[in-house]
Amino acid sequence: MCLTIPGKIKSIEKGVARVENGGRSVTIDLGLCLGAKVGDWVLYATDRAVKQISETDAKEIISLLEDHYHTVDVSKLPLQFKKILFKVRSREKVESRKLKVKSGGKEHDLTKAEIEYLLSLKGGENLETLYAEANSLRKEMIEDFVCIHGIIEFSNYCRNNCLYCGIRADNKELKRYRMSKEEIIETAVRAVEDEGYKLIVLQSGEDMSYTDEMLLEIVREIKKRVKVFIFLSVGERPSQFYKKALRAGATGSLIRFETSNPKLYEKLRPKHKLADRLALIREQIGQGYYVATGNMVGLPDQTISDIAEDLMTIKSLGVPMISSGPFIPSKGTPLANHQSPITNNQLSSNNQFSNDQINGEWKTGNEKSIEMFLKYISIARLMMPEIKIPVTTALETLDPENGRHRGLLAGANALMFNLTPEKYCKDYSIYDNKYREREKVWQKYGLFKGEESWEMLEERLML
């Protein structure tokens, strides 16, 4: 679902208002807010007001997308960085001349060496510049519209034994749950009807006790009862299943390739092959799914070169959306005490955390993992200006206070909210201390019922 932007009404004439949002001034139809007066704040989508809100709420929403970057003296940046920025900016010029064609000529693509260079950037000024560049590209290409996905994690049973994943079959510490068909449908319907969600992700471990037919029925029934886009994230099933699910009403698929390094992939996902995963991803793209794919950043033995390859893989697949996140060690897995070579990330369930447990709030202070992932988001934005990049829960877990804000300001433009019923939530522990939404401002003010947002989505999903 796409969010609206708050704006303050400056003048009104015959149901048409001039609103201001930061430096921007636009004309909108007062649509659903005919009672609004000059000086009031409204949320608007494209060119239509959809809801009147208080000034405090408007400012709260604005602050999430607001940046506080200081101007950077580009002349002081390292030469190679300057060259890359020049290249990115000249591609933008080419693209805007061609009226936003998907990508400039190949000569404007970042090379692997350049991607590696950016992934290795250090130092405040350099990083600020990288994030700011990506953020301004986001603003230019897609403005401040943010897309919201609601995720229902309906089962934590899994037949696989991925070394990194907390819900792996061999994790005996985990309390397992399965939501019934009715419960899944009801959760989805409630999210749409009561909260205004328009895009829902159904995710689970690879749990074959839900037959293909059961999943199809769930999709069909939700689509029958409410108007919503359904994304599946249920792992590897026969391509016939995915074909049928599309017919049943599914729109998208969240399916990561996890790492583009085949050796690392096979080590982390026993009995699985990268080539098979990529073949399934390509098949889904061919079938017409809106596919989101990506990797984990900070895996054991993963190198900067691997991450650069991951980004290039996403670009070459040509998907409209990324699904990536920082790796977070999970207890009950062989990687519980893992230390990443590139982020020195050692987040585990051992005692080291007890000091970080402040008022039940989990603070890792693991700035390196966060930084690496923010760089990853920014580079993805520079390489693929129009791609949708969600701030995934894993980043919010590493920085519960500001992860979401920092992700958006590094070039991300979508958010994931958890819709899993409270009683199951803690057991869907893919990794430790998984973030769960506390402040509800977006739910309260961003979500609304109205056709505008639906149309924007339809356009975005290329239906």
Task: Give the one residue of 133, 258, 310, 399 binding ligand SAH; rule: CB under 6 A.
Answer: 258
With beta carbons less than 8 A apart as the criterion, state whether 164 and 299 touch.
Answer: yes
Smallest separation, CB 158 to ligand SAH (Å) = 6
Tokens 């034994």, residue located: 161
Q: Give 138-158 as a DSSP string.
A: HHHHHTT--EEEEEEEEE---
Task: Give the one residue of 109, 116, 206, 371 binding ligand SAH; rule: CB under 6 A.
Answer: 206
Q: Taking CB under 6 A as the rule, does residue 255 contact ligand SAH?
A: yes
Task: Give the one residue of 147, 292, 296, 372 binding ligand SAH; rule: CB under 6 A.
Answer: 296
- Residue 455 to residue 266: CA distance in whole angstroms: 42
The region of 143-151, 241-249, 251-259, 348-356 touching ligand SAH under the rule CB under 6 A is: 251-259
Q: Taking CB under 6 A as the rule, does residue 330 contact ligand SAH?
A: yes
- Residue 62 to residue 59: CA distance in whole angstroms: 5
Smallest separation, CB 162 to ligand SAH (Å) = 7
Q: Taking CB under 6 A as the rule, does residue 231 contact ligand SAH?
A: no
Query: Minimal CB distance to ligand SAH: which residue?
Result: 235
With beta carbons less than 8 A apart as the criterion, state whether 35 and 15 touch.
Answer: no
Number of residues that bind ligand SAH (CB under 6 A): 19
Smallest separation, CB 276 to ligand SAH (Å) = 12
Smallest separation, CB 330 to ligand SAH (Å) = 4
Q: Sign of torsion, CA 12 13 15 20?
A: negative
- Residue 311 to residue 300: CA distance in whole angstroms: 18
Give the CB-side neighbour count of residue 201, counting CA atoms within 13 A. 25
Per CB under 6 A, contacts with ligand SAH among 155-194 are 164-165
Site string for ligand SAH, 122-161 (x = CB under 6 A): ----------------------------------------
- Residue 72 to residue 295: CA distance in whole angstroms: 31
Q: What strand order describes the sheet that includes 250-254?
A: 321-322, 290-293, 250-254, 229-233, 199-204, 147-155, 414-418, 390-391
Closest CA to 105 of 121, 127, 120, 90: 90
Smallest separation, CB 224 to ligand SAH (Å) = 25
Task: Give the one residue of 131, 431, 435, 445 binding ligand SAH; rule: CB under 6 A.
Answer: 431
Binding residues (CB under 6 A) for ligand SAH: these are: 164-165, 203, 205-206, 233-235, 255-256, 258, 296, 325, 327-328, 330, 394, 430-431
